[in-house]
Amino acid sequence: MSILLETLSDEELARMTQTGDRAAFETLCDRYLPRVYGRLCALLPPEAVEDVTQEVFLAALRGIARYRGEALFHTWLSALIRHKVADYYRSQNRHPPTAPLDSVTEQQTASDAWEELSLVQVALSRLPVHYQEVLLMRFAEGLPFEQIARLLNLTLEATRSRYRRAVMAIAQEMETHRHTASKGSRSGS
């Protein structure tokens, strides 16, 4: 891969892809693969992550002509990921996990780690998008707060504030879901 391409911004690489430069798109893929994969690990069942990751990049390639550079490439790609996640759950005729704790409690087959992942996925899927975004950027994509602030066009102070509110919101959702699940298992027994 060219060293020159690696120094270009996402938006410049997207424009070069539009003019027929395949190496530019491959550079974008290499740059974004860990982030896209990370996001999808947080949003999908493990067995679906690799397929949907590939689908995201292929959809980006097919749709790159429609990218006009009005939004950051990261924002455009994040929207595409949300669509692909929604498509996945629609195609499976299911919603983001809604009651995994019940089944785990009843069957006693899954590990604590899986149970915790399911709980976090449920809570995350119920948050407003702007809270989801800040949590996914910090944990799943591993971006520092300074970069998150730039991508969200916020001050660093506002970004940290939104982050703490997002953590409070997911804590509330996790507690609500634990409460619902324990009520459900009690009434079921």
Partner 1 sequence: MNEDERLQDNALAAFTDRLLTGQWGAEEEHPPLADIVEALKRTLVPPPPPDRLRRHLHERIATEWARSSISPRRRSWIPSTHPLRRWSWAIALLAIALLATLLLPTNVAHVSGTAVGDSRVLILLAALLVMAVAIAAWRVSRR
Point out which residues bind partner 1 (CB under 8 A). 17-20, 22, 25-26, 29-30, 33-34, 37-38, 41-42, 50, 53-54, 57-58, 61-62, 64-66, 68, 113, 116-117, 120-121, 124, 135-136, 138-140, 142, 144-145, 157, 160-161, 163-164, 167-168, 170-171, 174
In three-state secondary structure terms, 153 is: coil
**What letters, b where the CB count within 10 A reaches 16 and e where it falls short, cover 27-43?**
bbeeebeebbbbbbbbb
Residue with Cβ nearer partner 1 (55 or 102): 55
Residue with Cβ nearer partner 1 (74 or 134): 134
At closest approach, how far in Å is the CB of 126 from partner 1?
A: 15
Which amino acid would we find at residue 111? Answer: S
Residue with Cβ nearer partner 1 (106 or 157): 157
d(CA 55, CA 33): 12
At closest approach, how far in Å is the CB of 58 from partner 1?
A: 6
**Phi, psi at residue 167, to the nearest 5°?**
-65, -40
d(CA 143, CA 117): 21
Residue with Cβ nearer partner 1 (16 or 74): 16
